[in-house]
Structure 1
Amino acid sequence: MFVATIILTAVLAVLSFFAIKRIRMHAKNYIVMSKIPGPPREGILVGNMTHLQTDTENIFNRLREWRRNFYPMYKFFAVHVIAANILTPEDCELVMSNPVHSEKGKIYDLLHNWLKDGLLTSNGSKWQTRRRILTPAFHFNILQQFILVFNEEADKLVEAFRSECKKSYINITPHVAQFTLKTITETAMGTKLHFNTQKEINYKEAVYEIGRILLYRLSHPWFIEQVVNFFSPWYLQERRVTKTLHTFTKEVISDREKNFKDVELPAEEHDVYKGKKRLAMLDLLLSAKNKEGTIDNAGIQEEVDTFMFEGHDTTAMALGFSLMLLASHKHIQELVVQEMREVLGDLRKKPTYNDLQSLKYMERCIKESLRLYPSVHFISRTLGADLKTHSGYFLPKGTPVVIHIYDVHHDPEIYPDPEKFDPDRFLPENCQNRHPFAYLPFSAGPRNCIGQKFAMLELKAALCAVLGSFVLEPIDTPETVVVVVDIVLRTKEGIKVKFVPRE
């Protein structure tokens, strides 16, 4: 009994020590960050969270209001944590360019049940190893092999639109989402899906369902903590959906491995893959496992799940917004089609890698669409050291930082008339004096998006197929569409466009 009392006392003493240390740290951070403006607190326990306990449309509008009221930075209390919200490219650079601040913010714990420690969520040496393994998958010689997939799936997207083009409009959101999901599945996993079997349908539905669950946890941040999430009303459903996602990708990986032969991994990023077989990203992971032992089966699944998440929903929304903007600006749409005629000759020609690279005006249109509607509209980091911001505030080590990409992209000091769709903003002469961290659709710095060239080629291939077959007429426009906050930026009720077959 005496020994048990001693042990219990020692345990309580240790716990008390760490609790007091943590309380002192939070108290110190509170005092330091009290100088930063921000929305009023609603209570000691909930902080500012009641401001975001509303629908996704109002959350979006409230964040924009805070940008107007508290520029260039504001603090936000999420339960017991104080986050700094960054709105200027200068402060973005201080955080994003410095490897000491490369650790992802606590908010990414939302994704842990699904993605575990994949490239998006991992840190340190694990992240560096995974990045090294996967970088060759985006070498231009590999990307050239993916153009065939892009064109094949773009043709199917066109046929889906053609089957409905007699309607007064088409809600394009589910169509572009299926296009990008099928594309990333074939390029990432080497598996062509038609989504006509129950297993495939269940997987597609699970991908969409997990997004809704994660948004609920995001707007109720106490459920970000795994222990507390056990009491979430969505907990059991999240487990069921995650199991569906993992079971499907595990089977695909197993099937691919049965017929897999090691590929020659490029030693450096600039090396060329000379194999004749179309290389899936999964093949690089399997080869790294077999030849180097730098990744195991669990790690392979983490990366496949990560690519399925990052590679389809973001690109789908980028494509949807691009089509809406081109429909709403007929003169710009015609300039894109004119460039396609000059580069392709025949509008129905399947573009090659070089053709897609030559579509410079189309690329500027995509870039401007991503400025107006960045799919990844915010990112988060945890400061690895004390930081004095360009705007004059002191942020202590360990502070969660939220970088509001949407607000940086709509800063009128950087982009005059920021709501205007103007592809010429991205002419070389108009970019040269712009701050390098004023445009962040693919993040920036050491943790920038590994797949940005992949995404740009996929978007161009899709636009070539669609604009080669249809004239786009506006239904939804930037003035009427309702933008909402989600894991990615999306609209409240899809995106509606009218398709007129091109003569």
Structure 2
Amino acid sequence: MDWSILLLYIIGGALVAFWLLWRYKNRRMIQMANKLPGPPTLPLLGNALVFMNRPEEILNKLGELMETYGDIFRFWLGPELNIVVKNPTDVRVLLSSTKVNQKGPVYDFLLPFIGGGIISGGPTWRLHRKIAIPTFSKKAVENFFPVFNKECEELAKVISQKGPATFDCYVDVLRSTTQSVNQTVMGLSKEDSVNLTRLEEFIFKTHDMYNLIFDQMTKWWLHVPPIYWLLGKKKQQDYYLKMIDDLTEDIVRRRKKALQVSEPSEECMGGVDRLILSGELTHKEIKEETVTLFTSSQEVAAKVAAGVLMFLAHLPDWQDKVYKEIIEVVGADGPVTNEQLKQLEHLDMVYKETLRYFPIGGMIQRTVMEDISIRDESITLPAGTSLVIPIHNLHRDPRYWEDPNKVMPERFLPENVKKRDPNAFVPFGLGPMDCLGRVYGTALIKTVVVWVLRYAKLEPAISLDNIRLNIAISVTSYDGYNIKASPRNGRINGLS
């Protein structure tokens, strides 16, 4: 017999034996999974071939499966059982449970970049989150407003002088939110903030880094190390890791040096300082959480703020409503306060519609640590299952959102909110692993919008019907956040 044929028999036999052994060990999970609807599976692969799509098509594929199998269905990625749950009531029950408070296996692909901490989960996430929480409290955010106001006014001056040409406002907004985050969450001085190693390179490469991570999450062949290396992905990863290391080393070094001289007051202390002073983290862990706090603050805030500005540019009636409200509540000049932001109801509606349309997380995954039942115990998710919550699809479910693909801030008028299941809108997640920076981010984003609208009149660049979505962890505008701007009410060179 030909040795090559014999080798194929041996490999095939080993795979069959592995598959049969796995099925025997996991027979209970398989039996429980078979009670749920879902696409037919292949041996060893499960439903992996179903998801062999471009990253931007993954959520569309999930949507197609939901139309076929309903709000709860299962699919297998190799030996990993995933159960998708979209019903709002079930989502709240599951995400609020202590039985589902560990991140799912897809977050393992974040580990080389940010370690096993606050976002990616792991044994230390509770402790690290507890240390960082005071930086994002309402009291702390109140003390950050002087920085917010200063940086956002500078941004408003820049945008108001753009002229008639179309531009991507995300670029300018990102630079502004980066400076705000550096001088608050990172605890840096303005001088240190503008001189950080590889800062400019990092903030504009983060999106490409997330694309790489999402590719690895969604393309099974990239899980094979030789293929990952041959396709040049390992080289890209090493580049990003070096860039992260250089930036975070500089931030932590500067803060450790500053803390030897004096400590900031408790109410104004940044997250990096808290991590350092706690004495609970190694130098490596501090750097990992530094990049976590950095990117989850400045980049996320910039995406959402740019989305709000783009929607206001394309919805002139809403821009007028928001602007008039700003003048009535805040005034044409002077600093913005958090109390004033809370009174801007029209701005809040546009902000929420932006979060619905461009969710911070397109989908989230959790590991079921213990069996958990829903719907009067008629459905049980077995321990070891990966729970998938398709936030993007939930936010566009026509049962809760009329014309879900249209931008309509009026969805969030009080009378419309009352008609809708409150759990159909979960932009910050739920439960113990919800978004840490929701108060901070909301304040910074709204401050950006107030200052920009006081200085600039925004105009559309394209039709909102032509927005293409990009899925790479969060949902963003594929073609950027393009608008036009001109000085408002005779403001010239940033002066009234």
Letter in 2 for 1:375: I
**Counterpart for residue 12 of structure 2:** none
1:279 aligns with 2:269: yes
Aligned runs of 1:303-382 on 2, under 5 Å? 303-346=289-332, 348-382=333-367
Task: List per-residue Cα deviations over 1:413-468 (Å, max 9, x = no partner).
Answer: 22334334443443455445644432111111121111101111011111011111
Structure 2, unpaired ranges of 5+: 1-16, 490-496
User: Contact 1:110–1:224 (CA<8 Å) still a contact in 2?
Assistant: no
Q: Following TM superposition, by how much is the alpha carbon of 1:163 offset from its aligned partner in structure 2, in angstroms?
A: 4.3
Which range is displaced more, 156-165 or 80-89? 156-165
**Corresponding residue SS for 2:370:** coil
**Counterpart for residue 183 of structure 1:** 180
User: Contact 1:262–1:287 (CA<8 Å) still a contact in 2?
Assistant: no
Aligned runs of 1:80-91 on 2, under 5 Å? 80-91=79-90
**Counterpart for residue 38 of structure 1:** 38
Aligned runs of 1:40-55 on 2, under 5 Å? 40-41=40-41, 43-55=42-54
**Corresponding residue SS for 2:103:** coil
**Counterpart for residue 70 of structure 1:** 69
Aligned runs of 1:76-475 on 2, under 5 Å? 76-123=75-122, 126-167=124-165, 169-191=166-188, 192=190, 199-221=198-220, 223=222, 233-260=232-259, 261-262=262-263, 273=267, 278-289=268-279, 294-346=280-332, 348-390=333-375, 392-428=378-414, 430-431=416-417, 434-475=420-461
> Structure 1 CA distance, aligned partners of 2:316 and 2:127?
46
User: Contact 2:373–2:379 (CA<8 Å) still a contact in 1?
Assistant: yes
> Structure 1 CA distance, aligned partners of 2:440 and 2:476?
21
Pick closer, same or farther for the CA change 1:19–1:103 going to 2, 3 Å: farther
> Structure 1 CA distance, aligned partners of 2:441 and 2:288?
20
Q: Following TM superposition, by how much is the alpha carbon of 1:64 offset from its aligned partner in structure 2, in angstroms?
A: 2.9
Pick closer, same or farther for the CA change 1:113–1:57 going to 2, 3 Å: closer
> Structure 1 CA distance, aligned partners of 2:232 and 2:78?
19
**Corresponding residue SS for 1:37:** coil
User: Contact 1:89–1:435 (CA<8 Å) still a contact in 2?
Assistant: yes
Q: Following TM superposition, by how much is the alpha carbon of 1:39 offset from its aligned partner in structure 2, in angstroms?
A: 4.2
- Identity of matched residues, %: 25
User: Contact 1:476–1:495 (CA<8 Å) still a contact in 2?
Assistant: no
Q: Following TM superposition, by how much is the alpha carbon of 1:240 offset from its aligned partner in structure 2, in angstroms?
A: 2.5
Q: Following TM superposition, by how much is the alpha carbon of 1:201 offset from its aligned partner in structure 2, in angstroms?
A: 3.0
When the two chains are superposed, the root-mean-square deviation of aligned CA atoms in Å is: 2.9
User: Contact 2:196–2:247 (CA<8 Å) still a contact in 1?
Assistant: no
Q: Following TM superposition, by how much is the alpha carbon of 1:60 offset from its aligned partner in structure 2, in angstroms?
A: 4.0
Tell me the number of residue pairs that the alignment of Structure 1 and Structure 2 aligns: 468
> Structure 1 CA distance, aligned partners of 2:486 and 2:201?
33
**Counterpart for residue 13 of structure 2:** none
Q: Following TM superposition, by how much is the alpha carbon of 1:228 offset from its aligned partner in structure 2, in angstroms?
A: 8.4
User: Contact 1:325–1:477 (CA<8 Å) still a contact in 2?
Assistant: no
Q: Following TM superposition, by how much is the alpha carbon of 1:71 offset from its aligned partner in structure 2, in angstroms?
A: 2.3
User: Contact 1:161–1:170 (CA<8 Å) still a contact in 2?
Assistant: no
Task: List per-residue Cα deviations over 1:62-82 (Å, max 9, x = no partner).
Answer: 333333333212322223322
User: Contact 2:155–2:173 (CA<8 Å) still a contact in 1?
Assistant: yes
Task: List per-residue Cα deviations over 1:348-394 (Å, max 9, x = no partner).
Answer: 33312322232232112211221222121211101111233339543
User: Contact 1:385–1:396 (CA<8 Å) still a contact in 2?
Assistant: yes
Pick closer, same or farther for the CA change 1:483–1:280 going to 2, 3 Å: same
Q: Following TM superposition, by how much is the alpha carbon of 1:93 offset from its aligned partner in structure 2, in angstroms?
A: 1.6
User: Contact 1:60–1:483 (CA<8 Å) still a contact in 2?
Assistant: no
**Corresponding residue SS for 2:359:** coil
Pick closer, same or farther for the CA change 1:198–1:396 going to 2, 3 Å: closer
User: Contact 1:90–1:390 (CA<8 Å) still a contact in 2?
Assistant: no
> Structure 2 CA distance, aligned partners of 1:94 and 1:162?
46
> Structure 1 CA distance, aligned partners of 2:294 and 2:196?
19
